[in-house]
Structure 1
Amino acid sequence: MEAEMVELARAAGAAVITVMATDAWERTRDGVVALWRRVSPSRADSVAGELEATREDLLTARENGDDLAEQELREEWAGRLRRLLRDQPEVAAELRRILAETAPEPQEAGAGTVHLQAEVSGSGRVYQAGRDQHITER
């Protein structure tokens, strides 16, 4: 199997798991199930159930801070997608399309995590913002 297909399967497995805990989950699940329905109709319903079970496992792992379980889920789906690509290499373009449509939006350039903390006493004021802030006082 070409290294490109292995990398695609790894990226797809990671993307599927990452998207499971986002608003894009249903669209991603539907795309993956539709892919399976096209190449292996008898397995499509089973794959849909396995995706839902994996999502439950992922949410539990995240709730418990179990990074190892989350990594195992990524590897499990990377393996499933690698085997699908091995048996049906013509679905690579469709899998790439699904990934492109469901990938989380990239953060704006320069965006990052901001932690703000302030203490005020007396009649002091605090103005905090993670981005632009305009204050007009008279």
Structure 2
Amino acid sequence: MRRIPSILAVLSVLLLAGCATKTRSDALTTTLNAYGSTLRWGDFQSAAQFIDPALRAAHPLNALDLARYQQVRVTEYDNGAGPVPTGDFDVQQTAQISLVNIHTQSERTVVDHQTWHYDEKTKHWWLTSGLPDITQD
């Protein structure tokens, strides 16, 4: 009879941990979908809002970056196999982004290696790798 309260306590802790993991997973899915949609529309300025606030403050988008992003149109965003956990609060995702230069009409694809971190305090996933480097060949 003494074991039943102990077993119930352990099950309760596991259930709460599972709920936290489900909430974190749902938030990741929502965040990655919103980020992908934002990039598909080519709205790099709004996509910058997904970057960790401390990183965004330390490295704000400058006029040259914004001008580069305005010279391309996103034609495809493919996040491949999706996010891969690298820790309890971190995931990595590799996306291929097809871009067309609006002046030359030439198309190319860049590979974007994304790193995302979950902030337990704000219950929010933040992009820690920055916006895609569209200058790569």
Taking structure 1 as the reference length, what is the TM-score of the superposition? 0.33
Whose RCO is larger (CA < 8 A, sep 6+)? 1
The structure richer in strand per residue is: 2
How does the TM-score come out when normalised to structure 2? 0.33
